[in-house]
Amino acid sequence: MRLDKYLTDCFLGTRKEAKTLIKKGLIKVNDKIIIKEDYNINESIDIVTYNGNILKYQRYYYYLLNKPKGYICANQDDTHHVVMELFNNLPKKLVEELLIVGRLDLDTEGMLIITNDGNFVHTLTSPNSHIEKVYYVEYDKELPDDAPTILENPVILKNTTYLPSKLVIIDKNKAYLTIKEGQFHQVKRMIHYLGSDVTYLKRVQIGNLKLPDDLPIGKYIELTQNDLKLLIS
C-alpha cells in the first residue's frame, strides 16, 4: 500500500494533506523518515508513526447502535434525523463509508449494526442466511391463545410468505417475536394478522448477540471479533 493512502486510511487528513506531511519529513516507517509519498508499505508488518505516535491501521469497522425512535436508517434525509448523525464523533471519511445492516423503521428502537465491510453486510442480510432477529413487542390487544402455534407455520400476507417464527408471550400485551427475515414492516404485519397492533417495537438480538442492557439509547459500541462470530452463529 502506498504511504499516502495508508495515512488517509488512518484518517490523517486528505490525500493532499498526507503528501504534505510526508514531504515535511513528519512520517516515519520502522523508525526511518520517509519523504516519498508512493513508498510502499506492508500495513500488517510495518510500524508507521506521526510525531512519534504509532498510527493504527484498521480496514474494517463494526458498530452496534442502540437506535432511538425518530431516526431513519439512512445516511442523509431532508425531513428526519438519520442514524449516521449519531456517529458524528468519528472521522468524516469513515462515516461516509459506513453501511447500515438490516434497517429499522422510524418508530422502532434497538439493535442496529453499522459497518464499512460490504461482504459482512451481505452475509447478514442474504435471504439464504436465515439469521434470527429477536424483537420485544408491545401491542394494544391481547393475542389469541393459539398465536404462538399460528406463527410456527408460514404466514401469507398480501402475496408475501413469511417463514415460521417464534412468539413468546410474556404478558397480555407484551411478547418476544423471533423472525429469520427482515421484510418491510414484517413484525407489525404479523402482529396485525393476529388481531392486534404494535404500540412499541425494539430489536434486542441478532443471531446470538444481544443488545447490551447498559447501552443507552442513541449510543454505540465497537464490536469485537467474538461479537461478530455471535452475530452470524
For residue 145, indicate whether it is catalytic: no
Nearest CA-CA partner of 16 in 39, 30, 37, 47? 37
For residue 227, what is the enclosing H or E element? helix 225-231
44 CB-near residues (< 8 Å, 6+ apart): none
Distance (Å, whole) CA 185 – CA 111? 16
Nearest CA-CA partner of 7 in 38, 137, 32? 38
- Residue 126: what residue type? S
- Residue 184: what residue type? F
Q: Which among 31, 38, 77, 105 is annotated as catalytic?
A: 105
Distance (Å, whole) CA 84 – CA 42? 32
CA 218 to chain centre: 13
Residues annotated as catalytic are 105
